[in-house]
Amino acid sequence: MGGNLELRFNRDELHTRAVALPPQVHTRAGRHWIAPTDPEGGGTWIGVNDAGLAVALLNGYLASDREARPWTSRGLLVDALLECGHVNEVQARLEATDLSSVRSFAVWAWSGNAARILRWDRETLRSEDHSTCLLPLSSSARDPHGALRDRGLLYQTMQAQDPEDPMLLARFHSSHAPAIGPTSPCMHRDDAQTQSHTLIRVLKERVTLEYTPAAPCRQVPAVVHALTRSSRGVD
């Protein structure tokens, strides 16, 4: 049923945003998945299902996203995509969805040994092979280009120092380099900060989601959920 995955994700939000609901096992259309819930939008930003499909959402920050109009929550898209069994199905569903009322985003999806990024710029949905993208993936409302630059350079430096370090991703997501602030991986601003850290593991027999309801620098214990892998719907 494909290869293994370790995915780590920091979620940055304003202090005024409602606190996310902790992960639960969700079931719909015969598919089971683990995901936290955004109580404001009703959807989620990350999850993994029993097919071994992992999906994560990064917000875009286009000027047109600030228009005063009814918007469809991007998190509801992720919630629906977690019914899928493969990245090909994720792409097909997004291509068949009317995105005209959805703000810009990038959806990252992984299953088996395939990883894909689907970017919506309010006009076109573009598909990119994960291997061609600059890692780590990142978004920032305050300084999109600076955050991508600083976090990318830090990751490359840490990887070059010890490419075999099994804790590289954990150390990166907890880091305040080059200085604690809006572009550090563990982000802190006066009005916002990293609010949670998620670790997804996809193994041959099961999937797990470990959720820390705080910035990783605070070392708060994680809540862990697991599902047994299923072959239903896996391409």
User: Which whole number is the average pLDDT over 178-207?
Assistant: 96
Residue 179: inside a domain, yes or no? no
Residue 144: inside a domain, yes or no? no
Give pLDDT, residue 113. Answer: 80
Q: Angle formed by the axes of helices 87-95 and 74-81, to 10°?
A: 140
Listed range (51-55, 126-130, 180-184, 186-190) with the worst mean pLDDT:
126-130
Tell me the whole-structure pTM to 2 decimals: 0.94
CATH number of domain containing 130: 3.60.60.10
User: Which candidate, 111, 107, 105, 104, places its Cα nearest to that of 88?
Assistant: 111
Q: Residues 202-230: pLDDT tens digits? A: 999 999 999 999 999 998 999 999 999 98
**pLDDT tier for residue 232 given thresholds of 50, 70 and 90:** low
Residue 142: inside a domain, yes or no? no
Residue 174: inside a domain, yes or no? no
**pLDDT tier for residue 142 given thresholds of 50, 70 and 90:** confident
User: Which whole number is the average pLDDT over 157-177?
Assistant: 95
Contacts of 233 (CB under 8 A, 6+ apart): 31, 51, 84, 85, 86, 89
With a pLDDT cut of 90, the percent of the chain lying above it is 83
Residue 101: inside a domain, yes or no? yes
**pLDDT tier for residue 143 given thresholds of 50, 70 and 90:** confident
User: Positive or negative CA dihedral for 166, 206, 213, 135?
Assistant: positive
Domain that holds residue 221: 5-136+191-228
Q: Residues 4-43: pLDDT tens digits? A: 999 999 999 999 999 999 999 999 999 999 999 999 999 9
User: Which whole number is the average pLDDT over 173-197?
Assistant: 96
CA dihedral 67→107→131→137, nearest 10 degrees, is 60
With a pLDDT cut of 70, the percent of the chain lying above it is 95
Share the mean pLDDT of the chain: 93
Q: In what order do the strands lie in the sheet with 114-120?
A: 21-28, 31-37, 46-49, 54-59, 105-111, 114-120, 125-129
pLDDT at 155 exceeding the cut of 80: yes
Q: Residues 76-128: pLDDT tens digits? A: 999 999 999 999 999 999 999 999 999 999 999 999 889 999 999 999 999 99
Give pLDDT, residue 231. Answer: 74
Domains contained in the chain, number: 1
Residue 145: inside a domain, yes or no? no
How far are the Cα atoms of 9, 86, 87, 198 from residue 114, in angstroms, in the given order? 19, 9, 7, 21
pLDDT at 52 exceeding the cut of 50: yes
